[in-house]
A and B are shown apart, each in its own frame.
Chain A
Amino acid sequence: LAKTTQPISMDSYEGQEVNITCSHNNIATNDYITWYQQFPSQGPRFIIQGYKTKVTNEVASLFIPADRKSSTLSLPRVSLSDTAVYYCLVGDPASNYQLIWGAGTKLIIKP
């Protein structure tokens, strides 16, 4: 099972672009990279998932280099409501329950 490493915490300001990088050196061929967001006392919420290159949706972009040993979640023009814990997960979608959740990155957005 691949493990991930991400910063424990990050600070930024409203209106800025925030990039959170996740390291996953042991990623396997069938593994996808998935990011979740979690607010206090709520369950995690799916943000984005990708396999390689770049994926973009209405809330974020995910950049994955060719070697796939890392990935970067990009949040454009953050607001105070983006303050949350962000989890990077790596695993085979066919067996998603085997994903190992780290402590995530606590992102604090300041006015």
Chain B
Amino acid sequence: EVQLVESGGGLVQPGGSLRLSCAASGFTFDNSAMSWVRQAPGMGLEWVSTITDSGGSTYYADSVKGRFTISRDSSKNTLYLQMNSLRAEDTAVYYCAKLLNYWGQGTLVTVSS
């Protein structure tokens, strides 16, 4: 059974940092490009970032470029999203996904003072 389990969300003050994790199982993580997608409350889906299967290339939405860093640890089958300089507009549910196949249930990040 495929599972993507996100963790690390929570309440953080503007300007703060948070690291999200996504534990993957049930498929070949090493061969899979992985992504983060977010959804602000009551809004649509927004692609945030993708990392290639090797980890050699990373891509970001303009809205997070320079503040967020995606990474992966194949020895742990885990995807990460380091989020720095957080803003109120980063408040959203963050989904980990093998985009065209599997999605996690999401973790809520709230940026507020």
Chains A and B come from one and the same complex = no
Taking Cβ atoms with an 8 Å cutoff, the residues of A that contact B are none
